[in-house]
């Protein structure tokens, strides 16, 4: 295995040394350059050609971390992991929407956290090194290899209440910036999104998507009754399950049960909760993400309910093809399509023109 070449960008000399020590605990990771500001980073990017960059989101100087990230993506697109301190949630969400691969919390010096952050940092660098940065591989006119024939308006004639469900992980915040604004006002189903993300960050994600979209987007809360046409983001740090109340409405139930697939919220946990709800139809979309979360939940739901239409994002538009690939391998997916066609494909299942 070739060494993975990393560049660290941080205005703190102490943090540069700390991150370098953490990264090089993995014998296959090598820090080839460090930079103290944006100008230094762009010069060394051209000189050293790193495989992965770690970038302080609150970088001081004439360019903050977001500005440096955008320049990196413009001049030499490179997988970039943002390093965020406390209170940087909004900036992290903006960075992820601007092409950052992922983010980690800045080490806070607590011994109990150092080992966890070191392991997380090394893992994300290895994952980032395996990805290819695409400028915008998600336009509606792109076709997908092995695309599956779409069923036309399969759910519109059933007469059942419905739910739209979207599961995603790495690359999800940017993907959702295309899918959610593409949803039409007045869809005859609520939309629940499970995005792998820690607590605090999902509220910022919901707020950002709400500003970008015509549909209402909010972070779900315990006991909330879902309304048709609204989008709900599962809160970070909690598993989200849905149950049906006495009026046949879907209600949110949150728990801090142990992580599943190492994550909380888990797509599988949410999907498995739907298995007890009868006489309801579903559109399920599995988008970009690391791992296989969502595959078993989708397979179980499809086998126990004939009224499920499943979509998986095509390989060429994914930041990471893991979750869609695992879903496709269950042979329960009805349509594989690039990201730019996901919103259209969801809406077409209801033969719905909405606000057009």
pLDDT at 138: 40
205 neighbors 176 (Cβ within 8 angstroms) = yes
Other C-beta atoms closer than 10 Å to the C-beta of 43 total 12
**Quick check: helix, strand or coil at residue 160?**
coil
pLDDT at 354: 56
Instruction: Judge whether 293 counts as a catalytic residue.
Output: yes
What are the tens digits of pLDDT across the range 181-227?
A: 999 999 999 999 999 999 989 999 999 999 999 999 999 999 999 99
The answer, as to whether pTM is greater than 0.85, is yes
Please say if 139 is a catalytic residue. Answer: no
- Taking 50 as the pLDDT cut, the residues of the chain under it are 137-146, 148-150, 152-153, 156, 356
Angstrom CA distances, 138 to 134, 157, 287, 319, 321, stand at 9, 30, 12, 11, 14
Whole-angstrom Cα Rg for the chain = 21
User: Tokens representing 145?
Assistant: 């290899």
Query: What's the rounded Cα separation, in Å, for the pair 65 and 80?
Result: 11
pLDDT at 348: 93
Tokens of 196: 């792998």
In this predicted structure, what is the pLDDT of residue 144? 44
DSSP 176-240: HHHHGGGSPTT-SS-EEEEE---TTHHHHHHHHHHHH-SS-EEE--TTPBP-TT-EEEPPTTSEE
Q: Which of 84, 98, 162, 169 is catalytic?
A: 169
First vs last Cα of the chain: how many Å apart? 52
- String of b and e for 101-121 (b: at least 16 CB within 10 Å)? bbbbbbbeeeeeeeeebbeeb
Catalytic site includes residue 169: yes
Catalytic residue among 10, 51, 293, 334: 293
* CB-based burial, 284-296: b 16+ in 10 Å, e otherwise: bbbbbbbbbbbbb
User: One of 26, 196, 273, 299 is an active-site residue; which one?
Assistant: 196
Of 321, 302, 7, 293, nearest in space to 151 by CA:
302
pLDDT in tens, 118-146: 999 999 999 999 986 655 544 444 444 44
pLDDT at position 180 is: 98
């Amino acid at each position: 295995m070739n060494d993975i070449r990393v560049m660290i960008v941080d205005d703190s000399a102490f943090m540069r040394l700390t991150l370098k020590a953490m990264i090089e605990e993995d014998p296959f990771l090598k820090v080839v350059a460090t930079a103290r500001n944006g100008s230094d980073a762009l010069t060394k990017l051209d000189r050293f050609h790193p495989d992965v960059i770690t970038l302080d989101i609150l970088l001081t100087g004439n360019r903050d971390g977001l500005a440096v990230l955008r320049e990196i993506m413009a001049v030499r697109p490179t997988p970039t992991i943002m390093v965020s301190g406390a209170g940087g949630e909004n900036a992290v969400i903006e960075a992820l929407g601007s092409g950052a691969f992922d983010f980690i919390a800045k080490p806070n010096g607590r011994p109990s956290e150092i080992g966890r952050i070191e392991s997380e940092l090394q893992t994300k660098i290895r994952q980032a090194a395996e990805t290819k940065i695409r400028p915008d591989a998600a336009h509606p006119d792109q076709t997908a290899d092995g695309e599956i024939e779409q069923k036309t308006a399969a759910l519109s004639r059933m007469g059942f209440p419905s739910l739209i469900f979207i599961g995603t992980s790495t690359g999800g915040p940017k993907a959702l910036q295309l899918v959610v604004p593409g949803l039409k006002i007045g869809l005859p189903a609520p939309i629940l999104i499970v995005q792998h993300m820690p607590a605090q960050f999902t509220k910022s994600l919901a707020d950002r998507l709400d500003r970008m979209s015509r549909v209402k987007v909010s972070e779900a809360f315990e006991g909330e009754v879902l309304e048709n046409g609204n989008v709900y983001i599962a809160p970070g740090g909690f598993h989200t399950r849905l149950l049906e109340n006495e009026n046949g409405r879907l209600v949110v139930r949150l728990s801090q049960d142990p992580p599943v697939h190492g994550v909380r919220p888990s797509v599988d946990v949410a999907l498995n909760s739907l298995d007890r709800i009868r006489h309801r139809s579903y559109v399920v979309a599995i988008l970009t993400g690391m791992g296989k979360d969502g595959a078993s939940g989708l397979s179980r739901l499809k086998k126990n309910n004939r009224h499920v239409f499943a979509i998986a994002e095509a390989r060429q538009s994914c930041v990471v093809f893991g979750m869609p690939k695992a879903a496709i391998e269950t042979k329960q997916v009805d349509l594989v399509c690039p990201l730019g066609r996901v919103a259209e494909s969801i809406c077409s299942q209801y033969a719905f023109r909405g606000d057009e």
